[in-house]
Structure 1
Amino acid sequence: MSVRSRIATLYLLGFAVDLANMFIFNAALPALQRELDASVAQLAWVGTIYMLGLTVAIPVGSWLARRVGERRVFISSLLVVAAGGIGGGTATGIAALLAWRLVQGLGGGLLVPVGQSMAYRAYPPQDRAHLTAVVMTVALLVPALSPAIGGIAVDHLSWRWVFICIAPLAAAIAALTLVWAPTDRPSESRPALDIAGFLLSAITLFCLPLGLTLISQAGSAPHAAVALAVAIAAGAAYVHHALRSREPLLDLRLLSDPMLRTGSIIYLCVPGVFTGVNLVASLYLQNRLGLTATETGMLMLPWAGASFVAIMSTRRLFASQGPRPLFLAGIVVTSLGVLLLATPFAGLPMVRILSFAAMGFGASLCTSTAQTAAFTSVRTDRMAEASALWNINRQLSFSLGASVLGGLLGLLLAGSDNAGDPAPYRSCFVIAALLIVLPLPFVLRLQSGDGHA
């Protein structure tokens, strides 16, 4: 195996670990809820706080790699992920579990961008299309298979193994990196970290999902108001800082590009909302419809098959049709798929399969189109900044989706008198379907030629 193939393999393995951390625990949520006596809002934070760690760490990854070297950062991040997995699997309370999930997220936030930089630098431009195709395949297979694997672990072992099993895999990849990755040296030019920007962005990204989660908890309205007020103030301060700084941590001026801006909004409202739908659906299917954890996890298989069709369709249709019709089709199909879960027919196996297939096709059509088009008009010398902004928005989308819908479900369940009433879940699905169509005005403003490669 060539050196570049080894580096690409290390990145893909690390990427797979990060994706598994995002999706493998979904089928374990009801068991985790029972054993740790966790509320729905706290369950939402199992995914949200991991995304938060990712979001906070991503901007620091490239800066840290220039300071100490990519190989060291990559290995260290894998060991942090392994430690977080062991800690999460041995947690005795929901607070401890959330703390270890934050540790895992911080490790993953350093792992993915540094590994991506190593891999793409190893390949010449003419060979990167093949690498991208393999990356997309991993991004499709891992979210599809990991919930089913997690469901099997829950049904036959314990929910704890969903977290513990990540540790030996991450440690093995770290050991393989010591053997395969060439030694690199820190960059001679060591730029200063935008400390003010880092602190303001970290406060914003922490307090925003925290406030949204606290809204659903009885007696927490004052705390939620304070958290949201701090998030708004810190966010406004960061915008002011970023627009005046010569080298901000995240350059918001790049969002003046219509495709990058539209793609970012698409991510917030389509795959981001789907993350919340997946949380609500996991609880609904097991707690109300009586499905096992394995059966719930297996629904990601039709999602994956439809996603693959969408990705292949994007490759064929993007050049001839442009992004606008693909965005429109993806938004409508995803929204309809979510609405199927809100109907009484969700108890039928074929309706559930059709729902997840529609959500997989629509969401993947939107995301693959957005990633294809977002950087077409970004200057080459601004690609790194645009990539950082894109990845921060992507992680924030997943975090907000789970916080908003998980918090909403907790609020509706608290106000319901009938413990077996499916109405709170169905209301969440209807609201999610409405959130998914919010980007339509931005998509309709795109010109027919925007985003063509």
Structure 2
Amino acid sequence: MSARSRIATLYLLGFAVDLASMFIFNTALPALQRELSASVVQLAWVGTIYMLGLTVAIPLGSWLARRIGERRVFIASLLIVAVGSFGGGMATGIATLLAWRLVQGLGGGLLVPVGQSMAYRAYPPEDRAHLTAVVMTVALLVPALSPAIGGIAADHVSWRWVFIGVAPLAAAIAALALAWAPVDRLAEAKPALDIAGFLLSAITLFCLPLGLTLTSQAGRGVHAAIVLALAIVAGAAYVRHALRSREPLLDLRLLSDPMLRTGSIIYLCVPGVFTGVNLIASLYLQDRLGLTATQTGMLMLPWAAASCVAIMSTRRMFASRSPRSLFLVGMTVTSAGVLLLATPFAGMFTVRIASFVLMGFGASLCTSTAQTAAFTSVRTERMAEASALWNINRQLSFSLGASVLGGLLGLFLATSGGADDALPYRYCFVIAAVLIMFPLPFVLRLRRAD
């Protein structure tokens, strides 16, 4: 195995651990609820607090990598994940479990961007489409398989093994990284921590997803508004600080690169919005069209198949087609798939299948193209910082999509004419289709040379 293949393998294994930590516990929640006497709101926080820890830790990754080396940060992050996973499995109460989940998230927030930076730096730009295809395949398979594995563990052993089982896997990858990851060549001048930038970014990245989560909880509107206002103020202060600082924690000037900027916007508006569409579609198909949970869940099979086709297509076409053309096709196809759900024909089996096929193909075409194109022109020495920006944007996109469309649905339902009214859902689908096309002006400004 070549040196770059070893580095890519380490990143993919770490990425798989991070994804498994996000999704594997879902099917074990009922068993966890019974044993720990947790409320529904507390159960929701099992996933939310992991995401908060993940998002807050990401900005520190590039600074720590420059300070002590990517290899050490990567190994340490895996060990933090292992400790958090084992602690979560041994928790005797929901509060203790949530604390260990936060530790897990902090480890994951260092793991993924540092591993991604190592992997993409090891490959020249012309070979990164192949790497992206493998990354996207892992991103597709692990969330699909993890809940089934978690369900088997909860049914036949204990929900605790859903968490404990991740610990030896993370520790084993850390041992592998000790043998495979290249030794860092550190600069003599150690960068100082941008303390003001860290505090402002931490407040922003903690409060924004927290506020969006609170908006979906009944009776928490005032709390949500306060938290979101704090996120906006801190975020604006960070932007001002970062643009004036010589060595900011997150260098927003990197977004002047057209591919990194456009790829980030694509991620917000296509896979991010799809997260909200999937939530609205699940409610619409079951509450209004009378489908069962199993029938609704099975629609993700044609979605996954179409996604695989898109990922493989991107791998073959990226070198011969411009990112601009791939983005245009992906956005248009995804938007068309969402609009099918807004029609009166959504009750037809073939229309639903066609909708999810279009959404799967279009969204994955955009995502895999964006992932590859975003790092093609980033200088090698700036890869860690670009990776941090990319992963923060990726995490926030999923929170924003679900929260915005979920909030709109709640507003439309509150003013709808009756319990059987399908119009609130259709309005949401139309708005989502428009949001998916929002990056169009940015995409049209791209040149083939970009």
- Same fold flag (TM > 0.5): yes
Paired residues for 1:114-153 under 5 Å? 114-119=114-119, 131-150=131-150
Partner amino acid, structure 1, of 2:137: T
Matched residue, 1:54: 54
Matched residue, 2:77: 77
Report the TM-score, using the length of structure 2 for normalisation: 0.81
1:215-237 CA distance string (max 9 Å, x none):
33333222222112211111111
Partner amino acid, structure 2, of 1:336: A
RMSD: 4.0
**SS across alignment from 1:247:** coil
Partner amino acid, structure 1, of 2:141: L
Matched residue, 1:441: 441
Are 2:67 and 1:67 aligned? yes
> 1:200 offset after TM fit, Å?
0.6
Identity %: 83
Matched residue, 1:217: 217
CA–CA distance in structure 2, aligned partners of residues 347 and 208 of structure 1? 36
Are 2:5 and 1:38 aligned? no
> 1:111 offset after TM fit, Å?
1.1
Are 2:404 and 1:404 aligned? yes
Partner amino acid, structure 2, of 1:82: A
> 1:75 offset after TM fit, Å?
2.8
Matched residue, 2:107: 107
Matched residue, 2:276: 276
CA–CA distance in structure 1, aligned partners of residues 184 and 381 of structure 2? 23
CA–CA distance in structure 2, aligned partners of residues 337 and 158 of structure 1? 40
**SS across alignment from 2:40:** coil
Matched residue, 2:245: 245
Structure 1 residues without counterparts, runs of 5 or longer: none
Q: Tell me whether 425-434 or 90-99 shows the greater mean CA deviation.
A: 90-99
CA–CA distance in structure 1, aligned partners of residues 421 and 82 of structure 2? 40
Are 2:11 and 1:15 aligned? no
Q: Tell me whether 125-134 or 62-71 shows the greater mean CA deviation.
A: 125-134
Partner amino acid, structure 1, of 2:104: Q
Question: Residue 27 of structure 1 contacts residue 296 of structure 1 at CA under 8 Å; is this kept in 2?
Answer: no
CA–CA distance in structure 2, aligned partners of residues 290 and 433 of structure 1? 25
Partner amino acid, structure 2, of 1:388: A
Matched residue, 2:291: 289
Q: Tell me whether 138-147 or 106-115 shows the greater mean CA deviation.
A: 138-147
Question: Residue 129 of structure 2 contacts residue 315 of structure 2 at CA under 8 Å; is this kept in 1?
Answer: no
Q: Tell me whether 262-271 or 387-396 shows the greater mean CA deviation.
A: 387-396
CA–CA distance in structure 2, aligned partners of residues 124 and 426 of structure 1? 45
> 1:395 offset after TM fit, Å?
2.1
Describe the shift of the 1:429–1:146 C-alpha distance in structure 2 as closer, same or farther (beyond 3 A): farther
Are 2:316 and 1:313 aligned? no
> 1:71 offset after TM fit, Å?
3.7
> 1:241 offset after TM fit, Å?
0.5
Describe the shift of the 1:44–1:261 C-alpha distance in structure 2 as closer, same or farther (beyond 3 A): farther
Partner amino acid, structure 2, of 1:290: T
Describe the shift of the 1:443–1:153 C-alpha distance in structure 2 as closer, same or farther (beyond 3 A): farther
Describe the shift of the 1:232–1:116 C-alpha distance in structure 2 as closer, same or farther (beyond 3 A): closer
Paired residues for 1:196-235 under 5 Å? 196-235=196-235
Matched residue, 1:371: 371
CA–CA distance in structure 1, aligned partners of residues 439 and 209 of structure 2? 21
> 1:15 offset after TM fit, Å?
1.3
Describe the shift of the 1:4–1:383 C-alpha distance in structure 2 as closer, same or farther (beyond 3 A): closer
Describe the shift of the 1:223–1:127 C-alpha distance in structure 2 as closer, same or farther (beyond 3 A): closer
Question: Residue 44 of structure 1 contacts residue 402 of structure 1 at CA under 8 Å; is this kept in 2?
Answer: no
CA–CA distance in structure 1, aligned partners of residues 297 and 201 of structure 2? 34
Question: Residue 125 of structure 2 contacts residue 376 of structure 2 at CA under 8 Å; is this kept in 1?
Answer: no
Question: Residue 133 of structure 2 contacts residue 311 of structure 2 at CA under 8 Å; is this kept in 1?
Answer: no
CA–CA distance in structure 1, aligned partners of residues 328 and 127 of structure 2? 32
> 1:203 offset after TM fit, Å?
0.8
CA–CA distance in structure 1, aligned partners of residues 33 and 410 of structure 2? 13
CA–CA distance in structure 1, aligned partners of residues 433 and 100 of structure 2? 32
**SS across alignment from 1:312:** helix
1:108-158 CA distance string (max 9 Å, x none):
111122223444566678876654553343234334433554566677777
Number of residue equivalences: 446
1:210-257 CA distance string (max 9 Å, x none):
222323333322222211221111111111101111111122223233
Report the TM-score, using the length of structure 1 for normalisation: 0.80
Matched residue, 2:172: 172
Describe the shift of the 1:449–1:44 C-alpha distance in structure 2 as closer, same or farther (beyond 3 A): farther
Question: Residue 79 of structure 1 contacts residue 171 of structure 1 at CA under 8 Å; is this kept in 2?
Answer: yes
